Amino acid sequence: MERPDIYVITRFLESLWMKGKGQMRRTELQMSVQVNYNIFVKYLNFLTEKGLVSVVEEDGERVVRITEKGVSAYNLVVELVRRVFEN
């Protein structure tokens, strides 16, 4: 991926960490991130390659889980935004 959108990445990580309690089914995650299927797959593959999420088979469904590295990345982005926009 040449220039990933940090907002899309953040929505992925936030959806998994805050809404999904660390994991979500793929369809549920796609709906939460609010991107079309092709974009979703592209970013899911990118985040998997970077070690921020993992995809596992659970009860016959593919589930996306945020990794420790993903949680750290999410917290770093939140802290950066807080510092930039804090009065």
Q: Please report where in the chains the tokens 């469904």 appear, as a residue.
A: 61
pLDDT of residue 87: 64
> What's the pLDDT band for 19 if we cut at 50, 70, 90?
confident
Q: CA nearest 10: which of 28, 34, 26?
A: 34
Q: CA nearest 48: which of 62, 65, 61, 71?
A: 65
- For the stretch 27-65, pLDDT in tens is 999 999 999 999 999 999 999 999 999 999 988 999 999
> What's the pLDDT band for 17 if we cut at 50, 70, 90?
very high
Evaluate if residue 2 carries a pLDDT over 90: no
Query: What value does the mean pLDDT of the chain take?
Result: 94
Q: CA nearest 18: which of 70, 63, 55?
A: 70
